[in-house]
Structure 1
Amino acid sequence: MTCFDFPAAISALAIAQPDHPAVICGDKSIDYGRFGARVEAVAATLAKLGTAPGDAVAIVAASSVDYAVLWAAALRLRAVAAPLAPSSTPAQIAAMVADSGARLVFVDAASRREFADVLKDRVLVDLDDLDKWIDTTAEAPPLAELDPQGAFNIIYSSGTTGTPKGIVQSAAMRSLHITGAKALGYDDKSVTLLSTPLYSNTTLVSFLPTLAWGGTVVLQPKFNAAEWLKLAETHAATHTMLVPVQYRRVLAEPSFDNHTLSLVMKFCTSAPFPAELKAEVLRRMPGGLVEFFGMTEGGVSFLLAAHLFPDKLHTVGRASEGHAVRIIDEDGNDVAPGTPGEIVGQSPATMNGYRNRPDLTDKAYWTAPDGSRWLRTGDIGRLDEEGFLTLMDRAKDMIISGGFNIYPSDIEAVITALPEVREAAVVAMPSDRWGETPVAFVVAPGADAEDLKARSNAGLGKTQRLAALVLVDELPRSHIGKVLKRELRDSFAGKVD
């Protein structure tokens, strides 16, 4: 397989379409000619300071034009981009930087204030003032030969406790993402609006293909639904990646119907995407809708072209081309179609491993009786006869109550069907009587908790019934929209039988 060479593509685009806009963020814009030149200048300075192929370059900042430049500059040297979430704790940032091995850490003003004390042993570079740092006398070395299995980037998992794991993705893995995206309409006329951060794999699966194929990336550093609609209309955005809660907020924005959208293809990933929300997106927003389900680690991924399969909106689609999936029970046996089990998979687009953690890398795999290795997802799902996957829950979120397996998603579906309920999340709480029992956290302004609990339980089976229902103003979420169920469990102040 030929491996797509991202930095070589950027250099070629700088010559072929120098005046075409590459990245826009707020009032700043850079065309491909200037983008290519700035990438060379940053790469040259990095090289003069000793950055070599395989070295990590860490970034802790909000999205910006120069954040995009730095991504490309690190790759120009065959170095490894290590983007880190500014929402991390200082201890986590220090641990991730140490794990990556990065000597240079690029920060914006907010991250410098937050993390300077824990990064005293590193060289901090102000991404907001890159011109002062660039050495105009430095020269970039020739583009080194591409090693398909060499590290392209490190994405740190969004764990809510402890130190996130460094997921090492190879050039070959990213190549598959970029070349596969061509079929989704990316070309030099694409305008991709991105409001998720540049340290998230959610964003990168749209960001990198857009630049690779010569399109324009429009960055919104902090999501706001009204502003997103203005940006989409102003720039005639053709592509976008939004997580489910962002779609919900865009559709609920009072000014929605006042905007003309030019979307050709919309994407979603990273969090459960309810069927009713998919249907509303298809009904009210132009263009196709594609949902991705998979892990940053790779293995099997699923794709649902919702506009082509409107009768499958309750699923996350079928395994992508060249990917293999198995659904196994707790003993490692394949289950029959329609039976829930853990999703495991194989594909060429799989991580090299967790950086510096061969023990965790080994634990990430299930070995079949024939000796083949399958990446574990930790998710529970079932395949129908046509190969479409319905997600149940994370294995760790499954509730075992009185010996019965209870899937929170089944309970959440009943609760959210009540007209006054906006969102719901169900978690397991310890119970002396049952071992575990379900408790719901619900966003339903003005509702009565006991009334909602009674009406929900009326629609649930005996083993599924809620022990408690707690009204909350909003559900806690990660930066990519995942509900943080651990925080909900930790916040519960009541008692259950």
Structure 2
Amino acid sequence: MTTAAEMLQSEFASYADVVCAHATERPDDIAVVAGDRRLSYAAFDRYGDRIAAGLQRDGVQSGEAVSICGLNGWAYAVLWLGILRAGGTVAPLAQSSTPEALALMVEDCGTRLLFADQSILDTLTLPDGVTPVTLDDDTAFEAWLPEEGAEPEPVEIDPEQGFNIIYSSGTTGTPKGIVHSHQMRWRQVTAFGGLIFTPATVALLSTPLYSNTTLVSFLPCIGNGGKAVLMQKFKTTEFLELSEREKVTTAMLVPIQYKRLMAEPRFDDYDLSSYLMKFCTSAPFAAELKADILKRWPGGLVEFYGMTEGGGSCALRAHEFPDKLHTVGQPMPGHDIRLIDEQGKEVPQGEIGEIVGRSGTIMKGYHNRPEQTRDTEWYDEEGNRFIRTGDVGRFDEDGFLTLMDRRKDMIISGGFNIYPSDLEAVVIEHPEVDEVAVIGVPSEDWGETPVGVVVGPRDAEAIRDWANAKLGKTQRLAAVHIVDELPRSAIGKVLKRELRESLKLG
């Protein structure tokens, strides 16, 4: 049998096969910790076999989607393995979605089985032909499984076969299914093998298993033989306690989680010396927060900038470039990042443009949406395929990328381009402001005008006057609204469309 180490040196191997190799070589090592459950690689692998056999028993064919929807847990983790071993495509769905959106996603991916927490199943009206299986009741889940020792029929995996369908957060409308291939995921598994992810790795995962933010740590961790510690819901003290008890070496967090951790009064009381590296992605990451983490939290800090769709990614090794904390770093090796204007032409060095990228990690396309797939593509003069991010940025003279904003969030007021992030950077400096989002609203005089939405202060007019005294003439806020909290997705992105709707701002 090919060893795990040999597989990880190859251009392609299946995720299910490398897990089997780890289980054969190190059966007693822990693969997954979830609550009071600790699954060894041998147990993890056996569950993968039983799930795959159960799916085949129920008629699931190679390439067919199987959906999961629930909070992180041991059953969720083993389902990923079992579905892939059966040759299926994993379609994990956000449990925070409305019942209507979930039903649409279930229908779109074409699953015949939905593994979901009972509280979710209670709200859903499933399409005909979809069988529900309760995920968060061990007795019910075990009842669905074939008996111990069941083995699936072997399945040949094509590298270009669908590995997963990740549905977008819906921040820009109806969620789209982003299809990743086995080959793409294998490249991610092996990219940091031997560096960040090894058999000695202990990765703490506190974001949902339906999110690509989580999967870019979970899959390489397990694929390289490490231990994945799953949290059902993020809580600062629980995160810190787990970090200390499990001697965590790495974690992928989103900025709002870092912010809450660093504000935790007892943060400095915990022993975090086991940390070797921390990662961040998915939302704007303030330079001041990065600096605080570098000062108080052992281990390195890397910020990744990229999209679930793939394309090109940047990485900022904050511990190596403390003078570049305002940027998202440089293009990763093998990643081609360019900036284009509204006409699709590349912009000169130092100018602002939409970010497009290409690499070996790029989506196959949006599931069942060829036109929207084409809309997100850009081709250079040689015919190379890039993915459009919808983000606007600028490279500095050292090749570090600074993000300005989402292109759709840019405000055009009186003919001037206004970047909300510039205004947010000013408003957040006010000592009473905890969080801020700036959005554009219709204006008869200017076309659009910026409005601030803040958490923290009591006097909206005072905040507006304070900010406008520091902003340029074309940037001044027309109004400030005070809210208890900003609406966010499960991975911390501010939902500006939802904010506009809730405040009836156009």
Deviation of 1:26 after TM superposition, in Å, equals 1.1
Deviation of 1:119 after TM superposition, in Å, equals 4.3
Equivalent-residue separation in structure 2 for 1:192 and 1:16 (angstroms): 21
From 346, 349, 362, give the equivalent of 1:337: 349
Equivalent-residue separation in structure 1 for 2:386 and 2:150 (angstroms): 45
* 2:444 is the counterpart of 1:432: yes
Deviation of 1:162 after TM superposition, in Å, equals 4.8
Q: Which residue pairs with 1:49 in the alignment?
A: 58
Equivalent position amino acid for 1:459 in 2: K
From 257, 271, 296, give the equivalent of 1:246: 257
Q: Which residue pairs with 2:21 in the alignment?
A: 12
Matches within 5 A, 1:363-442: 363-442=375-454
3-state SS of the aligned residue for 1:456?
helix
Matches within 5 A, 1:311-330: 311-330=323-342
Q: Tell me: CA distance 1:372–1:13, structure 2 relative to 1, closer, same or farther (3 Å).
A: closer
Q: Which residue pairs with 1:221 in the alignment?
A: 232
* Conservation of the 8 A alpha-carbon contact between 2:441 and 2:505: no
Deviation of 1:178 after TM superposition, in Å, equals 1.0
* 2:276 is the counterpart of 1:267: no
Q: Which runs of 5+ in 1 are unaligned?
A: none
Q: Tell me: CA distance 1:406–1:76, structure 2 relative to 1, closer, same or farther (3 Å).
A: same
Equivalent-residue separation in structure 2 for 1:103 and 1:452 (angstroms): 53
Q: Which residue pairs with 1:182 in the alignment?
A: 193
* 2:165 is the counterpart of 1:157: no
3-state SS of the aligned residue for 1:392?
strand
Q: Tell me: CA distance 1:287–1:418, structure 2 relative to 1, closer, same or farther (3 Å).
A: same
From 107, 121, 132, give the equivalent of 1:124: 132
Equivalent-residue separation in structure 2 for 1:202 and 1:142 (angstroms): 32
Equivalent position amino acid for 1:387 in 2: G
Which 4+ stretches in 1 moved above 4 angstroms? none
Equivalent-residue separation in structure 2 for 1:474 and 1:487 (angstroms): 12
* 2:478 is the counterpart of 1:470: no
Deviation of 1:492 after TM superposition, in Å, equals 2.7
Matches within 5 A, 1:201-212: 201-212=212-223
Q: Which residue pairs with 2:497 in the alignment?
A: 486
Equivalent position amino acid for 1:13 in 2: H
Q: Tell me: CA distance 1:163–1:256, structure 2 relative to 1, closer, same or farther (3 Å).
A: same
* Conservation of the 8 A alpha-carbon contact between 1:325 and 1:344: yes
| 1:185-228 superposed Cα distances (whole Å, 9 cap, x missing partner) | 21111111111000000000000011111111111111111111
Equivalent-residue separation in structure 2 for 1:131 and 1:490 (angstroms): 43
From 81, 84, 97, give the equivalent of 1:72: 81
3-state SS of the aligned residue for 1:130?
helix
* Conservation of the 8 A alpha-carbon contact between 1:315 and 1:390: yes
3-state SS of the aligned residue for 2:39?
strand
* Conservation of the 8 A alpha-carbon contact between 2:50 and 2:148: no
Q: Which residue pairs with 1:195 in the alignment?
A: 206
| Range 387-396 or range 319-328, more displaced | 319-328
* Conservation of the 8 A alpha-carbon contact between 2:268 and 2:296: no
Q: Tell me: CA distance 1:369–1:11, structure 2 relative to 1, closer, same or farther (3 Å).
A: closer
TM (normalized to structure 2)?
A: 0.94
Equivalent-residue separation in structure 2 for 1:24 and 1:181 (angstroms): 22
Equivalent position amino acid for 2:264 in 1: E
3-state SS of the aligned residue for 1:300?
coil
Equivalent-residue separation in structure 2 for 1:374 and 1:55 (angstroms): 27
From 296, 321, 338, give the equivalent of 1:284: 296
* Conservation of the 8 A alpha-carbon contact between 2:53 and 2:153: no
Equivalent position amino acid for 1:320 in 2: M
TM (normalized to structure 1)?
A: 0.96
Equivalent-residue separation in structure 1 for 2:355 and 2:182 (angstroms): 26
